[in-house]
Amino acid sequence: MKRTLNTRKWVENYGDHLFSLARYKLNDTELAKDLIQDTFLSAIKAVDTFRGDCSEKTWLVRILNNKIIDHYRTGKKEIPMSEYLDNTEKSFSDHYFDFNTPGEYGHHKIAAFPAISNFESDVSINQSELKKVLDGCIGKLPASLSQVFLLKYVSGENADFICKKFNITSSNYWVILHRAKLLLRSCIAKIWSL
Amino acid sequence: MKLINFTAFKKILYDCQKAQRLTIKKQESRLTLSEYLQHRIHLHYCDVCRKFQQFSAVINQVFARERKEMQERPTNTLSSEEKIQLQRQVDELTEDLKN
């Protein structure tokens, strides 16, 4: 069954929702406006493919999400993710873990794990302050890591989806998230202790 | 096939890198039985990795809450001029495609 779409009310009905979603995921107001404009225009061209198996809103959100993902992918220089991981594996691991002491392979280097006080549960932390610190730290992550981190934590995509997008194995995926969190931890520890 | 690999258990006592990768995996997906036990043992002895696990959980919670709030209410809005202009573009293209 094919449904007709009433495009006359689109901006009024969905404009704010799509915009705030895009604004949140991209953290860039102008870019968010461009992408929702793109979304509406692509949607009109693709109206014939709307089968009515989901709501108009869901369909538009899906189109917007694809635009956002495309943006993240094309915005960065394209080093294949697995190559990036291989090239940086040793220097990264050596910073946080000790692979030279016999019998203690992989043990943490204590200096790389400074204590962060008040970080045991999120209730005890001032949310908006934490978010500000976090945003700053995410901005400092290497592009390869932050792409994956943002897709998972901001867009809420699942592991399968992300692995397919970047053509990586699931163990690569765990390594990427681990690295991102290690770097965030170091960054937060530095700022939090000031 | 051996059900449990004992060398793995000896190694895991020190291997924080592996234990933390398992923490990441555990918080999002499922560990195998062997992974689960290795992880448990390591964290039992290792304070640094317990702290890392807490840190990681806090990050997960912060973003989960943010996503939920985003779903519930739009926090940013377009101005009415922007809306009118955007709707005009939509209408024009719709007309173009009809003809």
User: Is residue A1 pLDDT above 50, yes or no?
Assistant: no
Phi, psi of A140 (to 5 degrees): -95, -5
Cβ separation B17–A106 shorter than 8 A: yes
Q: Is residue A29 over pLDDT 70?
A: yes
Q: Are the C-beta atoms of A6 and B56 separated by less than 8 Å?
A: no
To 10 degrees, the CA torsion angle through A102, A108, A110, A111? 110
How far apart are alpha carbons A28 and B67 in whole angstroms?
17
First to last CA, chain B: 70
By the 8 A CB rule, do A180 and A141 touch? yes
Tell me which chain A residue has its CA closest to the CA of residue B78. Answer: A16
Predicted confidence pLDDT, tens digits, chain B (99 residues): 566 667 777 788 899 999 999 999 999 999 999 999 999 999 999 999 999 999 999 999 989 988 888 777 666 778 888 888 889 888 888 888 877
Does residue A89 belong to the interface with chain B, where contact is any CB pair within 8 Å? no
Question: B55–A103: do the CB atoms touch at under 8 Å?
Answer: no
Say whether A108 sits in a helix, a strand or coil.
strand
pTM given for the model: 0.74
Give the span between the Cα atoms of A176 and A142, in whole angstroms.
11
Query: 């001032």: which residue's tokens?
Result: A126
The verdict on a CB contact (< 8 Å) between A24 and B75 is yes
Domains and CATH numbers, chain A: 7-75 (1.10.1740), 81-192 (1.10.10.10)
Question: Which residue is closest to B18 within chain A, CA to CA?
Answer: A106
Q: Is A161 on the interface with B (CB under 8 A)?
A: no
pLDDT of residue B98: 75
Q: Does this complex have an ipTM over 0.90?
A: no
How far does the CA of residue B57 sit from the closest CA of chain A (Å)? 8
The residue in chain B having the minimum alpha-carbon distance to the alpha carbon of residue A175 is: B21
Asked if A147 and A157 count as a contact pair (C-beta separation under 8 A), the reply is no
Contact A175, B21 (CB under 8 A): yes
Residues B15 and A159: their CA atoms lie apart, in Å, by 25
Closest CA to A56 of A47, A68, A69: A47
CA neighbor of A166 nearest in space, from A78, A90, A89, A93:
A78
Instruction: Give the model confidence (pLDDT) of A88-125 as tens digits.
Output: 999 999 999 999 988 889 999 999 998 887 776 656 67
Give the closest-approach CA distance of B94 to chain A in angstroms.
6
A67: helix, strand or coil: helix
For A15, the closest of B21, B55, B86 (CB atoms) is B86
A127 to chain B, any CB pair closer than 8 A? The answer is: yes
Nearest CA to B16 out of B57, B49, B50, B56 is that of B49
- Which of the residue ranges A3-7, A54-58, A136-140, B10-14 would you say has the lowest mean pLDDT? A3-7
Rounded to the nearest angstrom, the minimum Cα separation between B50 and chain A is 10
State whether residue A115 sits within 8 Å of chain B by CB: yes
Residue A64 pLDDT more than 90? yes
Residue of B nearest to A29 (CA): B76
Percent of chain A with pLDDT over 90: 33
Cβ–Cβ contacts within 10 Å for residue A185, how many? 23
Torsion (CA) A161, A162, A167, A168 in degrees, nearest 10: -120
